[in-house]
């Protein structure tokens, strides 16, 4: 199946085929030297070993309660100052409207992240979760990155654990993977100097996993980072996953430069996107799922990614703002039949999942869940 003349790559391929763990050196070689075709074929072996021919999606809705933010990450086109014309903050009524819209569209999940509004107290953020939960208890709330959780800890003077416990009491179901960017401190200093560092990021996820919450992880690539930073990032994630097993899916996120302070950097192209998907699948041998986030990749690259290591394309994603503010040209949402078409056209079989990777059995906007989507999904 694999004709590989390069002896180093052949050795890495033999390890992958034997199910052995790849080292940092293997990862660097794959990132810098491997041809895309071999990288993709190897990642596809791992992808099909774990998830067969399934490609997962969910029916979800996004809610960014405010774009006002104390930080000024250089890659961010979403944030606003309090007095900016584009600044906004949701009221309770707006929250309820958004959740009811989600319910009407059959959403199983609401994805909540936003800015760090310096005039809002911790109780305001807890209230966001509570209002959503009380409006529609059956919708799973996946909310707040470690950057937000550590901000809540700072403004409330509560520990990370206490913040998470209060959020869970209000209705929090799991956490998304954002805020990771690139863990290397030097890179972080240049792109998002003031926000939570990697130690904090890992501390929040570790604590969340200890409390029984599942979470995701991301990596922002294609800006000023280099191969060594990407491999370091992936290995750190693999290490925590060995310890807790609490991560569900990894989402490589391509940098979108438009309207950011780094707009002089060219956006990564589709081939680079596919390399990152494949590299992630190969290095993160203890993650069940790799997501090709179609909003960011575009539909065609997301389709291709399903043969380069990805097994999930996120969801219907109504009301995405963060990538669209940074120039994403994709639609703000896709209907379920469009997602099915996209997946089938890529030669895969669609399966709707809920946030916790359980198969969704649907009857119109009503739904129930029926067991894990794959043998390794629920620990």
Return residues touching ligand SF4 (CB under 6 A): 69, 71-73, 76, 78-79, 115-116, 147, 192, 195
Measured from the CB atom, is 55 or 196 closer to ligand SF4? 196
- DSSP string covering 272-289, please? HHHHHHHHHHHH-TT-SE
What is the smallest separation between the CB atom of 324 and ligand SF4, expressed in angstroms? 14
Taking Cα atoms as reference points, which of 135, 155, 49, 48 lies closest to residue 90? 135
H or E element in which residue 189 lies: helix 185-191
CA distance 52 to 49: 6
Q: Which is nearer to ligand SF4, 327 or 372 (CB)?
A: 327
Nearer to ligand SF4, 74 or 340 (CB): 74
Nearest to 274 by CA among 15, 7, 31: 31
Question: Minimum Å distance from CB 326 to ligand SF4?
Answer: 10
- Cβ–Cβ under 8 Å, residues 287 and 250: yes
Closest CA relative to residue 328, chosen from 287, 372, 289, 273: 273
For ligand SF4, the closer CB: 69 or 339: 69
User: Judged by CB, which is closer to ligand SF4: 44, or 89?
Assistant: 89
Q: How far is the CB of 198 from ligand SF4 (least distance, A)?
A: 15
CA triple 350-139-80, angle to 5 deg: 95
| Least distance to ligand SF4, CB of residue 215, Å | 17
Q: How far is the CB of 138 from ligand SF4 (least distance, A)?
A: 29
In a 3-state reduction of DSSP, which class is residue 353? strand
């Amino acid at each position: 199946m694999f004709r590989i003349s390069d002896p180093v790559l052949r050795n890495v391929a033999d390890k992958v085929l034997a199910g052995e763990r790849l080292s940092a050196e293997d990862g660097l070689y794959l990132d810098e030297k491997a041809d895309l075709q071999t990288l993709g074929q190897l990642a596809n072996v791992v992808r099909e070993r774990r998830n067969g021919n399934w490609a997962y999606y969910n029916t979800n809705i996004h809610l960014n309660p405010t774009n006002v933010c104390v930080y000024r990450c250089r890659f961010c086109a979403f944030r606003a100052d309090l007095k900016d014309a584009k600044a906004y903050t949701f009221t309770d009524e707006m929250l309820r409207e958004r959740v009811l819209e989600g319910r009407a569209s059959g959403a199983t999940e609401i994805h909540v992240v936003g800015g760090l509004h310096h005039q809002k107290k911790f109780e305001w953020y807890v209230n966001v979760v509570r209002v959503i939960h009380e409006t529609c208890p059956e919708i799973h709330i996946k909310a707040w990155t470690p950057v937000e959780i550590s901000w809540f800890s700072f403004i409330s003077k509560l520990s990370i654990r206490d913040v998470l416990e209060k959020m869970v009491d209000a209705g929090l179901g799991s956490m998304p993977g954002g805020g990771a960017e690139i863990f290397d401190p030097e890179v972080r200093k240049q792109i998002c100097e003031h926000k939570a560092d990697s130690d904090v990021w890992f501390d929040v996820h570790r604590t969340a996993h200890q409390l029984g919450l599942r979470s995701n992880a991301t990596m922002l690539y294609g800006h000023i980072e280099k191969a060594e930073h990407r491999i370091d990032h992936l290995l750190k994630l693999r290490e925590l996953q060995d310890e807790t097993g609490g991560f569900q899916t990894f989402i490589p996120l391509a940098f979108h430069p438009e309207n950011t302070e780094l707009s002089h950097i060219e956006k990564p192209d589709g081939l680079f996107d596919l390399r990152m998907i494949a590299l992630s699948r190969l290095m993160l041998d203890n993650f069940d799922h790799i997501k090709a986030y179609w909003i960011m990749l575009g539909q065609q690259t997301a389709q291709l990614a399903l043969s380069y290591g990805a097994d999930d394309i996120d969801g219907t994603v109504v009301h995405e703002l963060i990538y669209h503010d940074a120039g994403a040209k994709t639609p703000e949402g896709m209907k379920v039949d469009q997602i099915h078409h996209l997946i089938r056209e890529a030669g895969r079989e669609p399966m709707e999942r809920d946030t916790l990777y359980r198969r969704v059995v649907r009857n119109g906007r009503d739904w129930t869940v029926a067991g894990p989507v794959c043998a390794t999904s629920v620990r």
